[in-house]
Amino acid sequence: MPYSVEHKSETRQKILESARRLFNKKGYAEVSIDEIMESAGLTHGGFYRHFHDKAELYAEAVRWFLCPEAPKPWQRKSYDTAAEHKPRGQRVVDAYFSRDHFNDRESCCPLITQTSDVARGSDTMKGAYREVVEKLVEIFQSDVDEPEKQERALAMVALCVGGVVVARCIDDPVLADGLRRAAHRHALRTGGWDSPPTA
C-alpha cells in the first residue's frame, strides 16, 4: 500500500531537519546521506524518493530555515510580547545577534555556518543561499525608511552575517562578545533603531 501524501511530507520534513542540523554542525562535505537518514530515523534507500542528490537536499535544507513551520528556539524569543512593539526587521536583528543564536551550532542561520561550503558549491547551493539573503534584505527593506533603503538593507545583512561569522571564529570569548555586540549596535543604527542591543 503506498504511503499517504501526509506521510511523505512528514518524512521529507524529518530528512530536511536532520540535514539542516548536521550541515550546520559539521559542514556539507563532512556529512553523508547515510548519516542524515540515520539521524532522521530512516533508511538510506528512502532518501531517493525525496531528493535527487545531496546538493538538492542541501539547497532545500537552507530554504527550510525560512519555513515558518520550523521556527528555531532563538527565533521564538525575539517575537515574545515584550518585543511586539518593535518593527519586524529590528526583531530579526535582535534575534540574529542574541546569545542563544550565537551559541546555537545546530539550528542557527545557515548563512553563518555554511559560507565556505556555498562558495565552493554548485549553482543549486548558491541559489538557495541567495534566496535566504534576499529574504533578509526584503525584511529589512520593509522596515527601513528612506534614504538609501536598498543600500541600508544590504549593509544590515552584511553586518548580521559577517558580524556573527567573525565573532564565532575568535577563540577569545571577551573579544568575540565585543565583536558580536558592536556589529549588533551598528546593524540597529543602520536600520534606524537606536535602542540598546540585547545581551
- CATH number (domain holding residue 129): 1.10.357.10
Give me the CATH number covering residue 49.
1.10.10.60
pLDDT of residue 45: 84
Residue 108 lies in a domain: yes
Domain that holds residue 45: 5-64
Average pLDDT for 130-139: 91
> Is cis: bond before 147, omega within 30 of 0?
yes
Mean pLDDT for 120-140 is: 89
Q: For residue 15, is it within any domain?
A: yes
pLDDT tens-digit series, residues 26-78: 888 899 999 999 999 998 888 999 999 998 998 888 887 776 655 566 555 55
Calculate the CA 183 to chain-centre distance. 17
> Do both 22 and 57 map to the same domain?
yes
Instruction: Specify whether 120 is located in the same domain as 155.
Output: yes
pLDDT tens figures, 148-163: 889 999 999 999 999 9
18 inside domain: yes
Percent of the chain with pLDDT over 90: 42
pTM: 0.80
Count of CB atoms situated within 10 Å of the CB of 151: 11
DSSP 77-97: HTTSGGGTTS-HHHHHHHHHT
Does residue 125 share a domain with residue 174? yes
Residue 198 covered by a domain:
no
Does 77 lie in the same domain as 60? no
pLDDT at residue 186, as a whole number: 95
Please state the domain count of the chain. Answer: 2
Residue 164 in this model has a pLDDT that exceeds 90: yes
Residue 196 vs residue 132, higher pLDDT: 132
Q: What are phi and psi of 59, to 5 degrees?
A: -60, -45
In this structure, is residue 127 part of a structural domain?
A: yes
Report yes or no on 101 lying in a domain: yes
On whether both 87 and 167 belong to a single domain, the answer is yes
With CA atoms as reference, report the closest residue to 197 among 98, 82, 81, 56.
Answer: 98
Q: Is residue 197 part of a domain?
A: no
Which is more confident, 5 or 22?
22
> What CA–CA distance (Å, rounded) separates 14 from 42?
9
Instruction: Tell whether the model's pLDDT for residue 179 goes beyond 90.
Output: yes
The verdict on residue 9 lying in a domain is: yes
The confidence score (pLDDT) of residue 181 equals: 95
